[in-house]
Amino acid sequence: MQKDLSNELVRLKKLYELSMTISGDPVEVFRHIARIIGELFELKIVCLSKINGDTARFPGDLP
Protein backbone atom coordinates (compact mmCIF):
# COMPACT_ATOMS: atom_id res chain seq x y z
CA MET A 1 0.00 0.00 0.00
CA GLN A 2 2.82 2.43 0.90
CA LYS A 3 4.56 1.69 -2.42
CA ASP A 4 1.32 2.40 -4.30
CA LEU A 5 0.98 5.77 -2.56
CA SER A 6 4.60 6.61 -3.32
CA ASN A 7 4.12 5.74 -7.01
CA GLU A 8 0.94 7.82 -7.10
CA LEU A 9 2.79 10.83 -5.65
CA VAL A 10 5.50 10.49 -8.31
CA ARG A 11 2.84 10.39 -11.03
CA LEU A 12 1.05 13.43 -9.62
CA LYS A 13 4.34 15.36 -9.48
CA LYS A 14 5.06 14.51 -13.12
CA LEU A 15 1.55 15.59 -14.16
CA TYR A 16 2.12 18.89 -12.34
CA GLU A 17 5.43 19.33 -14.21
CA LEU A 18 3.63 18.60 -17.46
CA SER A 19 0.95 21.20 -16.76
CA MET A 20 3.65 23.82 -16.17
CA THR A 21 5.26 23.21 -19.57
CA ILE A 22 2.29 23.35 -21.93
CA SER A 23 3.55 26.43 -23.74
CA GLY A 24 6.21 27.31 -26.24
CA ASP A 25 7.30 25.60 -29.44
CA PRO A 26 4.63 23.00 -30.33
CA VAL A 27 7.17 20.35 -31.34
CA GLU A 28 9.06 20.70 -28.05
CA VAL A 29 5.80 20.60 -26.08
CA PHE A 30 4.78 17.37 -27.86
CA ARG A 31 8.19 15.82 -27.19
CA HIS A 32 8.05 16.76 -23.52
CA ILE A 33 4.51 15.39 -23.14
CA ALA A 34 5.51 12.14 -24.85
CA ARG A 35 8.56 11.78 -22.60
CA ILE A 36 6.51 12.28 -19.43
CA ILE A 37 3.75 9.90 -20.60
CA GLY A 38 6.41 7.30 -21.36
CA GLU A 39 7.90 7.68 -17.88
CA LEU A 40 4.51 7.62 -16.13
CA PHE A 41 3.39 4.43 -17.83
CA GLU A 42 6.88 2.89 -18.21
CA LEU A 43 6.60 2.81 -22.00
CA LYS A 44 9.47 2.68 -24.46
CA ILE A 45 7.50 4.30 -27.30
CA VAL A 46 4.83 7.00 -27.20
CA CYS A 47 3.12 8.37 -30.29
CA LEU A 48 0.99 11.49 -30.01
CA SER A 49 -1.07 13.19 -32.65
CA LYS A 50 -3.17 16.31 -32.87
CA ILE A 51 -6.64 15.64 -34.27
CA ASN A 52 -8.40 18.56 -35.90
CA GLY A 53 -11.60 17.59 -37.70
CA ASP A 54 -10.67 14.84 -40.13
CA THR A 55 -6.94 15.65 -40.08
CA ALA A 56 -4.33 14.01 -37.83
CA ARG A 57 -1.00 15.75 -37.42
CA PHE A 58 2.10 14.39 -35.76
CA PRO A 59 4.81 16.51 -34.06
CA GLY A 60 7.18 16.31 -37.03
CA ASP A 61 4.27 17.35 -39.25
CA LEU A 62 3.45 20.56 -37.35
CA PRO A 63 4.27 23.88 -39.01
H runs (alpha helix) in the chain: 2-19, 26-40
In this predicted structure, what is the pLDDT of residue 63? 42
Structural domain range at position 14:
2-61
Q: What is the mean pLDDT of each run of 10 residues along the chain (63 residues)?
A: 78 76 76 81 83 80 43
pLDDT of amino acid 59: 63
CA 54 vs. chain centroid, Å, equals 23
State the pTM of this model: 0.55
For the chain, the domain total comes to 1
| Amino acid 54: pLDDT | 92
Res 62: pLDDT: 41
> Three-state DSSP class for 43?
coil
